């Protein structure tokens, strides 16, 4: 299983805004690994916990939480107690994220990207339906039930993972455009 993630991948897997991941890096709550902005699996567990708790902590408390979480994971502790009443079920978060990433990776391998099909855009196998189209439909608020009616050959995983795939691909495309040198005469 992949153990190092880009901020874009992390944001897609834990369903947080990419800006939030960069904020955690900027404030040095999460320590990046090489390459400079990639983050470890422990950071995904931390981000999922933050999302699930749905409570804002100060930078200092987030840094302390992340440090304690990493230490607990290194000791293979199943839970992390925080205060008298709050407990993070690390094994549960770890298992759920591991399974999600494994399922996503296997799902992604079956996608098709051929230059002669939809201009090389990624499509579902045996079709000309782009993953981007389904992901964007879901982003716009279309229900999975309506999508299943229109495209009955799509699996539950196709509908679950299309938005994650599109989110990662879209952000990577934007990043590539930012790093591409522009012609000074064309603006």
Whole-angstrom Cα distance, residue 120 to residue 132? 12
Listed range (26-40, 136-150, 163-177) with the worst mean pLDDT: 163-177
For 52-61, write each residue's pLDDT tens digit.
998 899 999 9
Give start and end residues of each alpha helix (H) in 34-155: 41-53, 59-74, 90-109, 131-139, 144-150
Q: What is the mean pLDDT of the chain?
A: 89
Q: How confident is the model at residue 180 (pLDDT cuts 50, 70, 90)?
A: very low
Please give the average per-residue pLDDT across 91-106, as a whole number: 96
For 41-80, write each residue's pLDDT tens digit.
999 999 999 999 988 999 999 999 999 999 999 999 999 9
Give the distance from CA 114 to its chain's centroid: 25
Which pLDDT value is given to residue 144?
Answer: 97
Whole-angstrom Cα distance, residue 39 to residue 16? 15
Which pLDDT value is given to residue 142?
Answer: 97
Whole-angstrom Cα distance, residue 55 to residue 34? 30
Whole-angstrom Cα distance, residue 136 to residue 177? 20
Query: What letter does residue 84 receive in the DSSP assignment?
Result: T
For 137-165, write each residue's pLDDT tens digit.
999 999 999 999 999 999 999 999 999 99
Kind of pairing between the strands at 80-82 and 86-88: antiparallel
Whole-angstrom Cα distance, residue 98 to residue 153? 27
Tokens 């990662």 sit on residue:
168
Q: Domain-by-domain residue ranges, the chain?
A: 4-98, 110-179
Whole-angstrom Cα distance, residue 131 to residue 70? 35
* CATH class, range 110-179: mainly alpha
CB 172 within 8 A of CB 8: yes
């Amino acid at each position: 299983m992949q153990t190092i993630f880009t901020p874009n991948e992390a944001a897609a897997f834990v369903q947080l805004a990419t800006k939030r991941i960069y904020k955690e890096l900027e404030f040095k709550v999460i320590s990046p690994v090489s390459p400079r902005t990639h983050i470890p699996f422990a950071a995904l567990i931390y981000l999922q916990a933050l999302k699930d708790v749905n409570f804002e902590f100060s930078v200092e408390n987030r840094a302390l939480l992340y440090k304690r979480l990493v230490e607990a994971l290194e000791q293979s502790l199943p839970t992390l107690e925080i205060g008298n009443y709050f407990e993070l079920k690390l094994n549960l978060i770890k298992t759920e994220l591991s399974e999600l990433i494994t399922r996503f990776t296997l799902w992604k391998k079956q996608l098709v990207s051929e230059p002669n099909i939809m201009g090389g855009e990624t499509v579902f196998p045996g079709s000309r339906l782009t993953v981007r189209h389904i992901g964007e439909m879901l982003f716009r608020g279309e229900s999975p039930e309506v999508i299943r009616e229109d495209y009955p050959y799509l699996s539950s995983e196709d509908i679950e993972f299309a938005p994650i795939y599109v989110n990662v691909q879209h952000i990577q495309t934007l990043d590539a455009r930012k790093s591409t040198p522009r012609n000074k005469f064309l603006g």
